[in-house]
Amino acid sequence: MLDKLTLLGRWGINNLRQLGKAGILLYRALFYPPNFRKGFPLVMQQIYSEGVLSLVIIVVSSLFIGMVLALQGYHTLAKFGSAQQLGVLVALSVTRELGPVVTAILFAGRAGSAVTAEIGLMKATEQLSSMEMMAVDPIHRVISPRFWGGVISMPLLTLIFNATAIYGAYLVGVKWLGLDTGIFWSNMQASVSFQSDVLNGIIKSVVFGIAVVWIAVAQGFESVPTSAGISNATTRSVVYSSLAVLGLDFVLTAMMIGSW
Amino acid sequence: MSEPKIENLVEITKMSFQHENGKVVFQEVDIVIPKGKIVAIMGPSGTGKTTLLRLIGGQLTPTAGQVMVDGQNIHTLSRKALYQLRTRMGMLFQAGGLFTHLSVFENVAFPLREHTKLSESLIHTLVLMKLQMVGLRGASNLMPSELSGGMARRVALARAIALDPAFIMYDEPFTGQDPISMGVLVKLIRTLNDALGLTSVIVSHDVQEALSISDYVYVISNKKVIGQGTPDAIMQNKTSMELQQFIQGLPDGPVPFDYPANSLEQDFLEGTVNAR
């Protein structure tokens, strides 16, 4: 009994310590951004490897999600004779929920895991230590650019996700199922508000972006520098960030719908 | 600490170190590294030789005692002062620690680009000079993945001396080198030290090589310094059994080869898997 209590205590302390370390890392990545002359190219590089290279998976999935949403929505809406509201249905569900959430989860799988594995490998092969011994702070040079690259990429990817998904719905709804183009777009325009729908979605995606990259860099930086340790860290990075995104989504939605 | 002239580059006094998981690595260790000398730190694997280098480099903090580097207590320095001090230190890691996404040239140029504002043509000249020293000028366009382990170590050495440090730490420089590059490396370390007026610390368990180039030797085992002196004195030392066992590579002696275990009777005769 006492043993189990000790174990629980140790587990708790270890987790708190990890959280503390990750918090310090976040603080240092946030408040010591790389200096502009040296840091800008590094951040651009990371926007490329985290953002641009994630484009394929984001565009393809969003196109199909939009098309499926349109198909499903059309059949349900048609039962109530309101198929012309299809554009509204798709646009609202994508900009408010699906866009930020699915982008964040895909981003965690594509870019977050890559960041974790890369940082973990740099740690295991003593690249981070040797950088430190060359008087270059790995947090400035490695962590911070990856962090900012991810935070900047996420909302941009979300916008692209939104646009492609709506285009996919247009393809299915208008080109295939034969809805009227004018009605499709004008209903959408009339019912989607920029502030409470599109902007709130973007705010969500910024928060998710911070959460996903924070988890990714922290898991990489604190990983056990062995092959097993890195693979564990990569798995944890994806699992934790997906869970964090879903949890945060609930909190943010409650805040936005509740009293904003 | 403001003596006009510091004789010893590194002074470790009564230093103890314990890992986060509670494993004690050092207990009240005293080590002095005089300026301009090559000091070898030897010991069986797992005695924390690499940890010692990390303590000197300020990457780890001792649990007790102090580490003075160039007259400054390295663990009370501000981050800025510590980084300032590190620009005058070079460290050669066991695996090299080359940046895998940069070419050999860019790896060696990295510290120059980070810490100096030299022109591109000057950097080019400097990098090729450093690579020439380790015999790899022709390999400047290769990626680290295309190098053998020994070559990677030599590139890392070129990178470690890129900023002309006053002090170099070598972590197991001889492991994984073939006889030729081993000979070259031994000579190179000696030449670098004498020509550039460096101070070098070599951590190694290759007894012959380490003894052949060092001016002074420390042997660490079981959390303590078990012997020190000039290479000759170490070789001639007959008083310490531990030291003799290590220098001559004897399987039996006070330094145990076997990992601590239950008695043979307990492990083999009791017949249960969960004996302990």
User: Which chain B residues are Cβ-neighbours of A122 within 8 angstroms?
Assistant: 99-100
Please report the pLDDT score of residue A117 as a whole number: 95
State the Cα–Cα distance between residues A254 and B209, nearest whole angstrom. Answer: 69
* Cross-chain CB nearest to B87 (options A126, A127, A135): A135
Q: Which of A45-54, B32-41, B203-212, B260-269 has the lowest mean pLDDT?
A: B260-269
Q: Which residues contact B33 (CB under 8 A, 6 or more apart)?
A: B8, B9, B10, B11, B39, B199, B201
Scanning chain B, the segments in alpha helix (DSSP H) are 49-56, 79-86, 104-115, 120-133, 149-160, 179-195, 207-213, 231-236, 241-248, 264
Describe the strand order of the beta sheet including B38-42 as a list of residue ranges. Answer: B89-92, B167-171, B199-204, B38-42, B216-221, B224-229
Q: CA neighbours within 13 Å on the CB side: how many for A190?
A: 10
Please report the pLDDT score of residue A175 as a whole number: 92
Q: Average pLDDT for residues A27-50, to the nearest whole number?
A: 83
Please report the pLDDT score of residue A245 as a whole number: 96
Residue in A165, A158, A225, A168 with CA at minimum distance from that of residue A198: A158
Q: Name the average pLDDT for chain B.
A: 84
Task: Give the pairing type, strands B199-204 and B38-42.
Answer: parallel
State the Cα–Cα distance between residues A34 and A136, nearest whole angstrom. Answer: 12
The amino acid at B123: I
Q: B93 vs A126: CB contact, 8 Å cut-off?
A: yes
User: Which chain A residues are Cβ-neighbours of B114 within 8 angstroms?
Assistant: 134-136
| Chain B residue at shortest CA distance from A137 | B83
Q: A130 vs B100: CB contact, 8 Å cut-off?
A: no
Maximum distance among all alpha carbons in chain A?
Answer: 71
For residue B2, pLDDT beyond 70 = no
State the Cα–Cα distance between residues A118 and A39, nearest whole angstrom. Answer: 19
| Chain B residue at shortest CA distance from A10 | B21
Please report the pLDDT score of residue A66 as a whole number: 95
Structure tokens of A113? 């895991």
Residue in A60, A50, A231, A32 with CA at minimum distance from that of residue A141: A32
User: Which chain B residues are Cβ-neighbours of A133 within 8 angstroms?
Assistant: 57, 59, 86, 89-91
Please report the pLDDT score of residue B1 as a whole number: 40
For residue A219, pLDDT beyond 70 = yes
By percentage, how much of chain A surpasses pLDDT 90? 75
- Separation in Å, CA of A56 to nearest CA in chain B: 23
Distances from the Cα of A70 to the Cαs of A78, A84, A172, A181, B34, in angstroms? 11, 11, 6, 14, 77
Q: ipTM of the assembly?
A: 0.81
User: Which chain A residues are Cβ-neighbours of B59 within 8 angstroms?
Assistant: 129, 132-133
Residue in B212, B162, B156 with CA at minimum distance from that of residue B183: B212
For residue A161, pLDDT beyond 90 = yes
Q: A129 vs B86: CB contact, 8 Å cut-off?
A: no
The pTM assigned to this predicted structure is 0.86
Distances from the Cα of B171 to the Cαs of A252, B12, B168, in angstroms? 51, 18, 10
By percentage, how much of chain B surpasses pLDDT 90? 15
Residue found under tokens 């902007």? A199
Please report the pLDDT score of residue A249 as a whole number: 95
User: Which chain B residues are Cβ-neighbours of A135 within 8 angstroms?
Assistant: 83-84, 86-87, 111, 114-115
For residue A152, pLDDT beyond 80 = yes
- Residue B116's φ and ψ, nearest 5 degrees, are -125, 165
Helix, strand, or coil (residue A185): helix
Residue found under tokens 């170590």? B153
CB-CB contact of A187 with A90 (8 Å): no
| Chain B residue at shortest CA distance from A35 | B114
Q: B97 vs A129: CB contact, 8 Å cut-off?
A: yes
Cα-atom radius of gyration of chain B, to the nearest Å? 21
* Cross-chain CB nearest to A133 (options B89, B100, B115): B89
pLDDT band at residue A220 using 50, 70 and 90 as cut-offs: very high
The amino acid at A59: V
| B40 beta partners | B202, B217
Q: Average pLDDT for residues A164-173, to the nearest whole number?
A: 94
- Separation in Å, CA of B159 to nearest CA in chain A: 9
Q: Name the average pLDDT for chain A.
A: 92
Task: Please write the tens of the pLDDT for every residue from B61-85.
Answer: 888 888 888 888 888 888 888 888 8
- Residue B217's φ and ψ, nearest 5 degrees, are -130, 135
Q: A126 vs B100: CB contact, 8 Å cut-off?
A: no
User: Which chain A residues are Cβ-neighbours of B163 within 8 angstroms?
Assistant: 134
For residue B4, pLDDT beyond 80 = no
Task: Please write the tens of the pLDDT for every residue from B173-201.
Answer: 887 778 887 888 888 888 888 888 889 99
Q: A133 vs B95: CB contact, 8 Å cut-off?
A: no
B261 versus A46: which is more confidently predicted?
A: A46
